[in-house]
Amino acid sequence: MRIGIVGAGATGTSVLDTLARLLPDGAAVTVFEGDRYFGPGRAYRPGSGAALVNLTAPKMSLRPDQPGHFQDWLPADHPEFVSRELYGRYLTELFTDAADRLGATLIGEYVVAIARVDGSYVVRTGQAAFTFDAVFLCVGAATPSDVYELAGTPGFVADPYPLDTMPSLSPEASVTVLGTGLSAVDAVLELIQRGHRGRLRMVSRSGYLPGVRDTRTKPVLRSTGAEVTKELSLLDLYRMVSGEFRAQKIPMTELWQEFQSGEDPAARLRRQYGQVLAGAPALPVFLAVAGHLLEHQAWRLFGDETRAVFLRDWHGLVATLCAPMPARTARRLVGLLDDGLLRVSAGLTGIHAHHNGYTVSTGQGDFETSYVVNTIRPNPVPLPGRAAELIGSLLAGELADTHPLGGLRLDAETATALDGTGMPSPGLYVLGELAIGELYVETTVLTAITHRVGQAVHHLLGRSSKGAA
């Protein structure tokens, strides 16, 4: 069996590691990675170590059947949340070990086209063509979108990742980070680690920073968990969340404050950090119940119209609460706010480049900045730009079809790509953020991604054994 893996970040590494543990002898595996960093991907490459992963070690194993694998790999004195750089070393080691065991061929080029020829997949780079029986698409996440058309202006950083390649900025200059999500937090911490002393500001339309993760409060769900089979509405989702809060004897008013607009972003961060220190249960319970429902039940039971409404009206806020930052990171941000080194603003309406820098417009007025670091990712999430030619070939060859809510259409149970008629393209697997339209939150939770990887690999091996029979 000839297998191709397109992309060698965390998802591609998970595929390779799973194949190394399950494949019979005689398989030939080839991995393509255009930037030639095999294993860590863009997000976990070597850097300053200032940016942290936002899950604890037991949640970061690349092997779902061995949840303690990453934790056992770490030194005994590791912190609760490790750096992205350290996690990248783990990925690199797993990738190298799996590649050695399989005798995998590594191609340091981007894939530009895939076609179906005589029952096989022909994968083309700029230099050569390769033929496979199956292909795993693990092209990674989309880069930030240039919403304000600033590309080419002197002080514009289009993407902070990989952090080790972010350009050096004058340490005394004013820097504005577009966006207030986890990537924006990483960019700020990277600049501080480099010794930046100038004014730093994070700005977005909502101003919402990620919530703060409480690892000490571990709620046990009481009313959530029963299997649901009927199609759900957003009202059904609300009733399920409020039912869990009643079962936990927590007033819903403690959750509603998170959904109130107008709260100052810095005050919101300080409030949430204080709640974590006090062990307040509302946010941990919401994180547990929303994560369970959206990952395991609700999203697959929403119709496309309900999904679209959720993404339009609720995704931005729910994402901040369901993808929280470590308390250690929140403490650092609060310290920067208290020291006057950082400001967080809401109400972003536009940015204008001029000869001295940029004018940033918000609902509270305009301000000037010398540099702009972009982390904006709109919804639906666009297809990864660096894979545009590849994806275009899949669409032109009718091997895949775009999903209206982002990424490509796929069969959720097997991760097999669906063509324009809704029929599967056998042996073509869609993983990671390319699956976001169908799987939503599962494309941002590592344990969910590795679970889907396992399903896809087992599906491939099942097809292979049936073919041999």
**pLDDT tens across the length of the chain (469 residues):** 999 999 999 999 999 999 999 987 778 999 999 988 899 988 898 876 889 998 898 889 999 899 999 999 999 889 999 999 999 999 999 999 999 999 999 999 999 999 999 999 999 999 999 999 999 999 988 889 999 999 999 999 999 998 888 888 999 999 999 999 999 999 999 999 999 999 999 999 999 999 999 998 889 989 887 677 788 899 988 998 999 999 999 999 999 988 887 899 999 999 999 999 999 999 999 988 887 777 767 788 888 899 889 988 888 888 888 889 999 999 999 999 999 999 999 999 999 999 889 999 999 899 999 999 999 988 777 788 889 999 999 999 999 999 988 899 999 999 999 998 999 999 999 999 999 888 887 777 788 899 999 999 999 999 765 554 3
Map tokens 């690199």 to a residue: 92
Q: Tokens representing 180?
A: 């207030």
Give the distance, in angstroms, between the CA of residue 126 and the centroid of all CA atoms in the same chain.
Answer: 28
Cα distances (Å, whole numbers) of residue 159 to 136, 183, 377 = 26, 9, 11
Delineate the domains of the chain, giving CATH numbers in brackets: 2-142+381-468 (3.50.50.60), 212-325 (no CATH)
Q: Which DSSP helix (H) or strand (E) runs through 129?
A: strand 129-132
Residue closest to 258 by CA, chosen among 285, 283, 228, 235: 283
Map tokens 């194993």 to a residue: 61
Annotate 242-261 with b (16+ C-beta within 10 A) or e (fewer).
Answer: eebbeebebeeebbeebeee
AA letter at 228: V
User: What pTM was computed for the model?
Assistant: 0.92
Q: Are 173 and 167 in contact (CB under 8 A)?
A: no
Q: What is the pLDDT of residue 456?
A: 96
Prior bond of 380 cis (ω within 30°): yes
Q: Are 390 and 379 in contact (CB under 8 A)?
A: no
Residue closest to 40 by CA, chosen among 98, 99, 85: 85
pLDDT tens figures, 419-460: 989 999 999 999 999 998 888 877 777 888 999 999 999 999
Q: What is the pLDDT of residue 24?
A: 78
N-to-C CA span, the chain: 14
Q: What is the pLDDT of residue 469?
A: 39
* Distance in angstroms (rounded) separating the CA atoms of residues 43 and 353: 28
Q: What is the pLDDT of residue 466?
A: 56
AA letter at 457: V
Q: Tokens representing 14?
A: 């998970």
Cα distances (Å, whole numbers) of residue 235 to 88, 117, 231, 332 = 41, 47, 12, 38
How does DSSP assign 19-40, residue by residue? HHHHPPTT-EEEEE-TT--TTT
* Distance in angstroms (rounded) separating the CA atoms of residues 198 and 188: 12
Q: Are 446 and 59 in contact (CB under 8 A)?
A: yes
Cα distances (Å, whole numbers) of residue 225 to 247, 289, 297 = 13, 9, 9
Q: Give 276-281 contacts, CB < 8 A, sequence gap 24+.
A: 276/212, 276/213, 276/214, 276/216, 276/327, 276/330, 277/327, 279/214, 279/216, 279/217, 280/217, 280/254, 281/217, 281/219, 281/248, 281/250
Provide the percentage of residues in the chain whose pLDDT is more than 90: 69
| Cα-only R_g, the chain | 22
Q: Tokens representing 114?
A: 């895939």
* Distance in angstroms (rounded) separating the CA atoms of residues 163 and 44: 9
AA letter at 413: E
Residue closest to 391 by CA, chosen among 137, 201, 80, 147: 137
Map tokens 């509302």 to a residue: 282
* Distance in angstroms (rounded) separating the CA atoms of residues 234 and 212: 25
Annotate 340-356 with b (16+ C-beta within 10 A) or e (fewer).
Answer: eebbbbbebeebebeee
Give the distance, in angstroms, between the CA of residue 89 and the centroid of all CA atoms in the same chain.
Answer: 19
Q: What is the pLDDT of residue 165?
A: 84
How many beta carbons lie within 10 A of that of residue 141, not counting itself? 21
Q: Are 400 and 113 in contact (CB under 8 A)?
A: no
Q: What is the pLDDT of residue 49?
A: 81
